[in-house]
Amino acid sequence: MGEELENMKKIGVLTSGGDAPGMNAAIRAVVRTAIYKGMKVYGIRRGFQGLMHGDIDQMDAASVGEIRHRGGTILNTARAEAFKTEEGIQKALTVLKVFGIEGLVVIGGDGSFRGARDLSQRGFPTIGIPGTIDNDIVCTEVTIGFDTAVNTVLEAINKIRDTVASHERTNIIEVMGRHSGEIAIATAIAGGAEGIIIPEVPVDIDLLCKRIIEGRNRGKTSSIIILAEGAGKAMELEEIIEKRTGMETRATVLGYLQRGGSPSAADIILASRMGYHAVELLENNIGNRVVISKNNKIMDEDINKALAMPSKFNEELFELAMVLSI
Ligand code: ATP
């Protein structure tokens, strides 16, 4: 019989990369689940940067009170180039040893998962939780923060629509998504956009302008075009569309307001379930996994496999957005 490993007793949690609404709810779930299971839990501030510098405090059930509904992350987040070097990783491993921390939960995007993988590869059990508004992590159907960001953008579209319709204009709304059209597709459908431009599909400006003109001829008083930031610049498109359609055109770049705000109920629930699952894995000394949501079930996947999955975009939803935008 092999020697049985004892359950883990001390874990750490950090947030890394871009902040996302719901990260606090995930931190809360990790802390409270760990305490419920009799573990000690440490909050690491400023992501891998803080980890390398020992910016660490023990957390208790009260330290995560009243954070569930708050945007951003109480642990702060950072981008830490030095962590990508062997020296940086060794520094982090030394700090973890000094604090007696045996396992780590990393809440962030795929860059953060590479950091989590690097720690796991060196024998330190680390679990990734997908927290990013971009919903660009292929292994999971949804990431923490996406639902909130989509709702925030939708609110903005509805407000912009009022003024655009009053002035009989076209408005290009630039949303986040450097490599992914996920936010653009979801908000184009929910916001009834007349056009959608995403990085995954080459834009047909002639068709777009033709549709705007046809819409106006049918009596439409406004047109909203959703543009994912990775597919072009709203200001440049504004000029082109105004010239070609002869309609007054404006551009709005939503920027960081898409990241902030109170998380939606869906994001709080997702974050709570994922945080709980991450602690269950660590409790059993399981590392090198990413917590995922599939068919509304919370599961986990090997980090290397998750990182190697080719990016794909939701063609079906894109088609739907195109069909409904006529
Ligand atoms: P978002 O999707 O919101 O941008 P992210 O987690 O992808 O989030 P990154 O800036 O790519 O954000 O990564 C966050 C941090 O993770 C980096 O600053 C770095 O400390 C660590 N990291 C990123 N890539 C790697 C890598 N290849 N190897 C080790 N660590 C990495």
Distance in Å, CA 227 to ligand 1 centroid? 25
Using alpha carbons only, give the angle 153, 159, 163 rounded to the nearest 5 degrees. 135
Given a cut of 50, whether residue 1 has pLDDT beyond it is no
Q: Which residues pair with 131 in a beta bridge?
A: 144
Nearest CA to ligand 1 atom 19: 80
Distance in Å, CA 109 to ligand 1 centroid? 7
Please give the single-letter amino acid code of residue 224: I
Distance in Å, CA 295 to ligand 1 centroid? 27
Residue among 145, 152, 178, 155 nearest 19 (CA): 145
Q: Write down which residue in 260, 279, 294 finishes a domain.
A: 260
Residue 2 lies in a domain: no
H helix or E strand, kind and range, residue 321: helix 315-324
**233 and 91 in one domain?**
no
Give the pLDDT confidence of 214-235 residue by residue, as tens digits: 999 999 888 999 999 999 999 9
Residue 19 carries which DSSP code?
-
Q: Token pair for residue 214? A: 């046809």
**295 and 243 in one domain?**
no
**150 and 243 in one domain?**
yes
**278 and 135 in one domain?**
yes
Instruction: Confirm or reject: Cβ of 16 under 6 Å from ligand 1.
Output: yes
Nearest CA to ligand 1 atom 3: 18
**CATH number of the domain within which 237 lies:** 3.40.50.460
**133 and 33 in one domain?**
yes
Rg (the chain; Cα; Å): 22
pLDDT for the residue numbered 188: 97
Residue 116 three-state SS = helix
Mean pLDDT for 257-271 is: 97
Residue 325 lies in a domain: no
CB 47 within 8 Å of CB 14? yes
d(CA 233, CA 309): 29
Q: Which residue has the tokens 């000394």?
A: 285
Given a cut of 50, whether residue 298 has pLDDT beyond it is yes
**139 and 86 in one domain?**
yes
Active-site pick, 134, 136, 147, 300: 134
**153 and 125 in one domain?**
no
Q: Write down which residue in 237, 260, 283 finishes a domain.
A: 260
**268 and 141 in one domain?**
yes
d(CA 196, CA 185): 7
pLDDT for the residue numbered 221: 87
Residue 72 lies in a domain: yes
Given a cut of 60, whether residue 326 has pLDDT beyond it is yes
Given a cut of 80, whether residue 4 has pLDDT beyond it is no
Given a cut of 90, whether residue 258 has pLDDT beyond it is yes
H helix or E strand, kind and range, residue 14: strand 10-15
**246 and 118 in one domain?**
no
Using alpha carbons only, give the angle 310, 315, 321 rounded to the nearest 5 degrees. 145
CB 309 within 8 Å of CB 318? no
Residue 324 lies in a domain: no
Other CB atoms within 10 A of residue 131 CB: 34
Residue 71 lies in a domain: yes
Residue 229's domain comprises: 146-260
Instruction: pLDDT band for 6, please (50, 70, 90 cuts).
Output: confident
pLDDT for the residue numbered 3: 63
Residue 219's φ and ψ, nearest 5 degrees, are: 105, 5
Residue 5 lies in a domain: no
CB 281 within 8 Å of CB 289? yes
pLDDT for the residue numbered 278: 98
Give the pLDDT confidence of 181-195 residue by residue, as tens digits: 999 999 999 999 999
Instruction: pLDDT band for 325, please (50, 70, 90 cuts).
Output: confident
**139 and 247 in one domain?**
no
Mutate which of 77, 87, 114 to test ligand 1's pocket (most atoms within 8 Å of Cβ)? 114
Give the pLDDT confidence of 131-165 residue by residue, as tens digits: 999 999 999 999 999 999 999 999 999 999 999 98
d(CA 37, CA 311): 36
Contacts of 66 (CB under 8 A, 6+ apart): none
DSSP letters, 190-212, are: HTT-SEEE-TTS---HHHHHHHH
As for how many domains the chain has, the answer is: 2
Using alpha carbons only, give the angle 160, 133, 199 rounded to the nearest 5 degrees. 75
**156 and 128 in one domain?**
no
Q: Classify residue 65 by burial, with Cβ atoms within 10 Å: 0-12, 13-18, 19+.
A: exposed
Q: Token pair for residue 37? A: 């299971």
**CATH number of the domain within which 301 lies:** 3.40.50.450
Residue 186 lies in a domain: yes
pLDDT for the residue numbered 160: 95
Given a cut of 60, whether residue 126 has pLDDT beyond it is yes
Q: Average model confidence (pLDDT) for the chain?
A: 95
Residue 315 lies in a domain: no
Give the pLDDT confidence of 43-85 residue by residue, as tens digits: 999 999 999 999 999 999 999 999 999 999 999 999 999 999 9
**269 and 120 in one domain?**
yes
* 204 carries an active-site annotation: no
d(CA 262, CA 267): 10
The sign of the dihedral angle between the CA atoms of 167, 170, 174, 177 is: positive
